[in-house]
Amino acid sequence: MSATADMIDFAGLVRPGDTVVVGQASGEPTALAAALVTQRHALGPLRVFVGALFSRSFAPEATDGLAFSGYGAIGGAGALARAGRLDVVPAQYSRIPGLFADGILPVDVALLQLARDGDGRLGLACNNDYSLAAARRARTVIAEVNDRAPFCFGAEWPDDLEIALTVETSRPLAELAPARIGPVEERIAELVAGRIPDGAVIQTGIGAMPDAILSALAGHRDLGVHSGMLGDRIADLIEAGAVSNARKPFDTGITVGGSLFGTARLFAFADRNPAVRLVPPTISHGVDVMARLPGFTAINSAVEVDLSGQVNAEVAGERYVGAVGGQVDFVRAGNLAPGGRSIIALPSTARDGAVSRIVASLDGRPVTSLRSDADLVVTEWGVAELKGRSLAERARRMIAIADPAFRDDLERAAGALLKSD
């Protein structure tokens, strides 16, 4: 069955009490999301599973009657978290498809955005993520086929998966613009870039810190990319000649990612581009896959890191602001790959210098990445090499990259530990 955007009617397809999984980020089916919000009271109480949100489709003030869950507070999902409307599932990203496949995460209806190529084939457009596993488990799959969505190799729609309703649209995709980069990010990026050799295979995340590091790599050569997300700055590096993927032992010459998190510039670059491939989380976040990439370098950020190397990438104060996401998968792959590294890069302070992001302990806040997985931590004050170091030596090195205004307090907090060495 097919329809146009102005004819969307979920009656009989979405039932009271259903859990609806909605495609995330630039893969959000915005016409379907708008119809779900408009019809929510007539459909009855619903739970909506969201990922990263780059639109205002599910603004807290306009979605009474809907309950939300998701894997983190990324983009617009952060507004739901701040409003106390997001029930967070703290799962490693690589495991989310399995949670849907096994029925641990419920799904009744999947709302997805698809693309169509010149031969009429359908594809998952911007996200080869957990949405396909959710769709296979769902009672009903509803697809928005957007003629502005990019058709990406690796994300082809399976022939055996039935779509109950297809809605044809021509709409701008939800976009994530490259982050604004300041002098602190530039200094950190300079330090990180100096630790990445030509020919390394890199992974980066979302935000100003990863964007700054990617910009600092423009002078490198023969870099490879294997990442959970691909943004505009990855396209910049490919066009600048910094990324060739030439030294990869497999996927040679191909930039591999799971999702496109970017703007129309990125979508046009990836559309039917044989040098870009979107793969499912078992590959994009597969530790066993990444560990076979020589020089694999995981580049991630954090809310804070303690003196032992424990990383919190989820909670600031009492607010959920991030996600477990793929950090654990990437950090461990960086430690396992031949010549690999794991880099956690973050400014040393927050709130205009009022709060240190190098802390004595996480004090009950989430441990996203374990201290046993710690390798390099970088701030604008330097690089702390933690792998294989004792707790006392780690504390000294972490204090050395904290903002000078907080070093005395950190030394006092670590006093007994420092004396034990």
pLDDT band at 6 (very low <50, low <70, confident <90, very high): confident
- Model confidence at 293: pLDDT above 90: yes
Are 375 and 342 in contact by the 8 Å Cβ rule? The answer is yes
- Model confidence at 421, pLDDT cuts 50, 70, 90, reads low
Residue 418 has pLDDT above 90, yes or no: no
**What percentage of the chain reaches a pLDDT higher than 90?**
95
- AA identity, residue 233: R
pLDDT at 164 over 90: yes
Domains and CATH numbers, the chain: 2-169 (3.40.1080.10), 183-419 (3.40.1080.20)
The whole-number average pLDDT for the span 165-190 is 96
Q: How far apart are the C-alpha atoms of 32 and 144, rounded to whole Å?
A: 7
Q: What is the pLDDT of residues 323-368, one digit of tens each?
A: 999 999 999 999 999 999 999 999 999 999 999 999 999 999 999 9
- pLDDT one-digit tens code per residue, 35-51: 999 999 999 999 999 99
Comparison of pLDDT for 177 and 416, the residue scoring more? 177
Predicted local confidence at residue 420, as pLDDT: 60
